[in-house]
């Protein structure tokens, strides 16, 4: 003869438990909240990717100076190298580096675009994972 | 899954939505570290439970009845004579949701994982970082309390 505990462990399929499972069907997040969330997520990713991304003037041992951009955490190494190579073009040694406003604007734009690519990749990856697992945002 | 767990653990839609948002933001930041569907599900459930219980404590959303009070209501268990088909299923489900929220947090979380997520006790133990015996005990106790309360408040549905 089996007690309640044993029965519970065996099948967990009493009528009450069945009713409990029925009551616990997935509930959805409100559509407007989900839309706000997606906008928030994009903004958060953008902020994260560009956080502290202002160009820094770094002094070299030989007296030269170079503009350094922080590396994005999810940016591939080759992209960081490519940006660094571009920056080297702006290096002058033995003197103060003068930055043309146009060039600075172009670099800022380049950095922003790189950040946006990071954002897209992060989203795509996360969403693909959810999709593969049969999950979706909002439930 | 994420929002449903948060909603049933917290019981307040606005807070549950905030928790779900936090969990997905964290996923977006760390998705590349997760390998495979099982790892993803485990991670989502674990982070959601932690965030939800944290939020529950912060917002001081407490069950309206403690476990002790429940046990004092000595009523016979409905057992397998519980006949839901004779009643409005929607009404029963709504009431069960209310009763779930009255469970103490330590019992509510494993019950949600067991009956919403259909997780086995050993899976719940791994997720919560608790001994299997503790999880089984919490599940059994949670179920008993729910059944007792249901027997009292849903007499019309229980034979």
Tokens found for residue B96: 């069960």
Local confidence band at A105 (pLDDT 50, 70, 90 cut-offs): low
Per-residue pLDDT reduced to its tens digit, B44-93: 899 999 999 998 888 765 554 444 444 434 334 445 555 555 556 777 77
Helices within chain B (DSSP H only): 2-10, 13-30, 36-59, 67-72, 89-101, 105-115, 121-128, 132-153
Write out residues 8-47 of B within 8 Å (CB-CB) of A.
8, 13, 17, 20-21, 24-25, 27-29, 31-32, 34, 37, 40-41, 44
* Maximum average pLDDT range among A77-91, A124-138, B55-69, B122-136: B122-136
Crossing angle (nearest 10°) for helices B2-10 and B105-115: 150
Task: Enumerate the residues of chain B whose CB falls inside 8 A of the CB of residue A35.
Answer: none
The mean pLDDT value of chain A amounts to 58
Which residue of A18, A126, A137 is in closest CB contact with B31?
Answer: A126
Q: Whose CA is closest to A110, among A51, A50, A66?
A: A50
Q: Whose CA is closest to B28, among A72, A74, A2, A99?
A: A74
Q: How far is A104 from chain B (nearest CA, A)?
A: 29
Per-residue pLDDT reduced to its tens digit, B98-129: 888 888 989 999 999 999 999 999 999 999 99
Contact call for A4 and B40, based on CB within 8 A: no
Residue that has been written with the tokens 């001994």 in this structure: B131
Q: How far is A25 from chain B (nearest CA, A)?
A: 6
User: How many beta carbons lie within 10 A of that of residue B80, not counting itself?
Assistant: 11
Summarize the confidence of residues A28-38 as an average pLDDT. Answer: 75
Q: What's residue B132's pLDDT?
A: 95
Q: How far is B141 from chain A (nearest CA, A)?
A: 10
Q: What's residue A100's pLDDT?
A: 47
pTM of this prediction exceeds 0.90: no
Within 8 A by CB and 6+ apart from A80, the residues are A71, A72
């Amino acid at each position: 003869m089996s007690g309640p505990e044993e029965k519970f462990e065996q099948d967990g399929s009493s009528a009450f438990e069945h009713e409990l499972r029925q009551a616990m069907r997935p509930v959805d997040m409100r559509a407007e909240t989900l839309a706000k969330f997606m906008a928030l997520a994009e903004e958060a990713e953008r902020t994260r990717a560009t956080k502290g991304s202002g160009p820094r003037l770094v002094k070299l041992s030989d007296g030269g100076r170079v503009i350094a951009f922080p590396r994005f955490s999810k940016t591939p190494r080759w992209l960081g190298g490519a940006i660094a190579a571009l920056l080297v073009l702006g290096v002058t040694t033995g003197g103060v580096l003068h930055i043309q406003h146009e060039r600075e604007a172009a670099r800022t734009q380049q950095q922003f675009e790189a950040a946006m690519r990071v954002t897209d990749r992060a989203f795509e990856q996360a969403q693909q994972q959810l999709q593969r697992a049969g999950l979706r945002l909002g439930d | 899954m994420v929002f449903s767990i948060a909603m049933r653990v917290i019981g307040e839609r606005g807070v549950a939505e905030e928790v779900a948002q936090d969990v997905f933001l964290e996923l977006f930041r760390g998705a590349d570290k997760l390998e495979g569907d099982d790892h993803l599900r485990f991670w989502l459930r674990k982070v959601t439970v932690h965030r939800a219980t944290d939020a529950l404590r912060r917002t001081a959303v407490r069950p309206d009845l403690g476990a002790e009070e429940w046990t004092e209501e000595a009523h016979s268990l409905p057992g397998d004579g519980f006949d839901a088909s004779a009643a409005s299923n929607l009404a029963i489900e709504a009431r069960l949701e209310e009763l779930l929220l009255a469970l103490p947090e330590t019992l509510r979380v494993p019950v949600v994982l067991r009956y919403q997520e259909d997780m086995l006790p050993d899976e719940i133990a791994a997720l919560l970082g608790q001994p299997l015996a503790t999880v089984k005990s919490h599940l059994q106790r949670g179920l008993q309390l729910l059944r007792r309360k249901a027997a009292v408040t849903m007499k019309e549905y229980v034979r």
